[in-house]
Structure 1
Amino acid sequence: MRRGTGPVVAGAVVVASALAWSEWLNWRWSRTLVGTGAGAGEAVVVLGYRNPRPAVNAVNRWRVRAGIRSLAAGGGRETCLILSGGTTGDGATEAELMAGYARSVLGFDGTVLLEDRSTTTWENITNVIPLLEDAGRIKIVSQPAHALKARAYLRRQRPDLAERLVRADDYRPGEWLAAKPLLALYGLWKLRVLTAGERGAPARAEAR
């Protein structure tokens, strides 16, 4: 090995390990607290991200795209897209901005319901519950850690509805690749409010 290549190789190994770790963690989060869902009707809940400016931001644009691709093909009237998020500025709510993007930019012509009062994840879940009562399958869309936190909150508030949770299409290998290590670290910090069971970890891990 040439002199000076050692640090380069070591750095490459560290980067590759961080990417693999973050991919695995996001993959696991996307599959935690979900089932198979056999009921009729589907509700896909897209959680908004703080959007104080009048234009929909990049995170919310991605979440809307992930929400639309999460919709079951041929769902028809029994399928709806629920956009959840209040205002963090003086203009339109997150839900309204996401709806405008879905309609005008993505050309989505399916059923859209808005929940435009929430400013926290707990409120997102509390306020969309009335819209979920008739759904046989429920999908929650966000970055995987955030979506898992929301599923845990639904489990706490309405365990009967949580039984209807199924996996959304908000995790794909390689998506957000460069940002995934940071998103994974941020996700671990945000998920500290959940129990080990809600995070999908063995209960005894709490004692370590």
Structure 2
Amino acid sequence: MRRRTGVAIAGTAALAWGEWLNWRWSRALVGNSGGAAEAVVVLGYRNPQATANFINRWRVRAGIRSVAADSARVTRVIFSGGATSSGAAEAQLMADYAKSVLAFDGTVLLEDQSGTTWENITNVIPLIEDVDRIKIVSQPAHALKARAYLRRQRPDLAERLVRADDYRPGEWMIAKPLLALHGLWTLRGLKGDERKTSL
């Protein structure tokens, strides 16, 4: 009985820890920039098949739900990711999923040359320079890394970063402890001020 109780407590603690870290990362390096024009940048994940994989499909859904209802007409959704082994760019696969499966009919732009997160940010900069608000969509740790990269490359644009809807309590709950562990490894190169949380 004690063993079962201990396992249950440990499992609950791991879930709570994963939830908390992902919540925290989703609120780091974002502000409350106003204005109507916004860009939602959806980062691709390696995709060897000819259609969007599970992770990219989730990122597309999170990107579309990140479009503010009151600014849908002036929002551009930018799918970012280069070619994979299938020959199709991650950006194109995500855009195809958004349009054909989710029936998204908003403004879509493609950045289909990048192979790393740093390149994602470098290559989308020309597409986001004229907007008032910028949302970067991915799993919370990866999105934070991308926001930190934008801050390094273009601090003026980083001031326009706002929260995306890529964190929801309970979503990915079972996987969140593993995502948290992976996130800690992924974010090991960030400086202390690049982890600053905005509540």
Tell whether the structures are fold-level matches, with TM greater than 0.5: yes
Whether the 8 Å contact between 1:83 and 1:95 is mirrored in structure 2 is: yes
Answering whether residue 141 of structure 2 is matched by residue 141 of structure 1, we say no
List structure 1 segments (4+ residues) > 3 angstroms apart after TM superposition: none
Alignment of 1:84-95 (within 5 A): 84-95=80-91
Whether the 8 Å contact between 2:36 and 2:71 is mirrored in structure 1 is: no
**Corresponding residue number in structure 2 for 1:70:** 66
**Corresponding residue number in structure 2 for 1:190:** 186
**Corresponding residue number in structure 1 for 2:41:** 45
Within 2, Cα distance between the matches of 1:74 and 1:121? 29
Answering whether residue 102 of structure 2 is matched by residue 106 of structure 1, we say yes
1:74-115 residue CA offsets vs partner (Å, 9 max, x unmatched): 324421100000012142100000000000000000000000
**Corresponding residue number in structure 2 for 1:7:** 3
Secondary structure of 1:98's counterpart equals helix
Within 2, Cα distance between the matches of 1:196 and 1:33? 11
Shift of 1:53: 1.1
Of stretches 6-15 and 36-45 in structure 1, the one that deviates more from structure 2 is 36-45
Taking structure 1 as the reference length, the TM-score comes to 0.93
**Corresponding residue number in structure 1 for 2:147:** 151
- Which of 169, 176, 187 does residue 173 from structure 1 map onto? 169
Within 2, Cα distance between the matches of 1:166 and 1:132? 13
Taking structure 2 as the reference length, the TM-score comes to 0.97
- Which of 116, 120, 125 does residue 120 from structure 1 map onto? 116
**Corresponding residue number in structure 2 for 1:129:** 125
Return the letter of the residue paired with 2:132: G
Unaligned runs of 5+ in 1: 202-208
RMSD: 1.0
Q: How many residues align?
A: 197
User: RCO greater where, 1 or 2, for CA within 8 Å and sep 6 or more?
Assistant: 2
Unaligned runs of 5+ in 2: none
Within 2, Cα distance between the matches of 1:194 and 1:88? 27
- Which of 7, 19, 28 does residue 23 from structure 1 map onto? 19
1:109-153 residue CA offsets vs partner (Å, 9 max, x unmatched): 000000000000000000000000111000000000000000000
Within 1, Cα distance between the matches of 2:63 and 2:91? 13
1:19-73 residue CA offsets vs partner (Å, 9 max, x unmatched): 0011010000000000001123000000000001112100000000000000011
Answering whether residue 78 of structure 2 is matched by residue 82 of structure 1, we say yes
Identical-pair percentage: 72
Secondary structure of 2:70's counterpart equals coil
